[in-house]
Amino acid sequence: MSDYGRRIVVDLEFETAVSETSRLIRQEGLKIIARVDVREHFWRDRSHDFRRYLLIDAWSSTLAVEALRHNLDVGPILPITFAIYELADGESVVVAKEPLAPYASNAAWRRDFPELAAMADEEAERVARVFAGLNERSRRAPSIVPAA
């Protein structure tokens, strides 16, 4: 765990890591609401080549509805953002922002919004299961390290 959330290095080629991460997100009942191909955007906007790098935003519509019922301002922090990028040696990295970050780790926020805190904990468990699935799918035991 780091300032950026969870991070795992897996012995999976980039496209396999993207496919497997997407499958595991859906398996956990999360809906993918956005995909951003960072490399393609950099090339189109700046004519700058970059490693393969994809952002996936996903959420639980149940959490979204309940969270917005409690506080309409929570919208920008509802999606869980996954970043997937390739490493030079053929491995891939998956990083995920924790649900309702940075508030979910704030004791005062948890005290003031216990229902939202419980929902954030449930979503964090889903993200943990996505990472556990990636760990199992990797061709070798991945190294789990803090994000830089």
Looking up residue 114, the CATH number of its domain turns out to be 3.30.310.70
Q: What is the tally of structural domains in the chain?
A: 1
Residue 142 is assigned to a structural domain of this protein: no
Contacts of 121 (CB under 8 A, 6+ apart): 104
Are 133 and 60 a contacting pair, CB within 8 Å? no
Residue 112 is assigned to a structural domain of this protein: yes
Type and span of the H or E element at 62? helix 61-70
For residue 107, give the amino acid letter: A
**pLDDT digits over 71-104, tens only?**
898 888 889 999 999 998 889 999 998 878 778 8
Residue 133 is assigned to a structural domain of this protein: yes
Residue 148 is assigned to a structural domain of this protein: no
Residue 78 is assigned to a structural domain of this protein: yes
Peptide bond just before 79 cis, omega within 30 deg: no
Q: Please tell me the distance from the alpha carbon of residue 110 to that of residue 113, in angstroms, as a whole number.
A: 5
Residue 30 is assigned to a structural domain of this protein: yes
Split at pLDDT 50, 70, 90, the class of 24 is: very high
Give the global pTM. 0.85
Residue 1 is assigned to a structural domain of this protein: no
Whole domain around residue 96: which residue ranges? 6-137
Residue 74 is assigned to a structural domain of this protein: yes
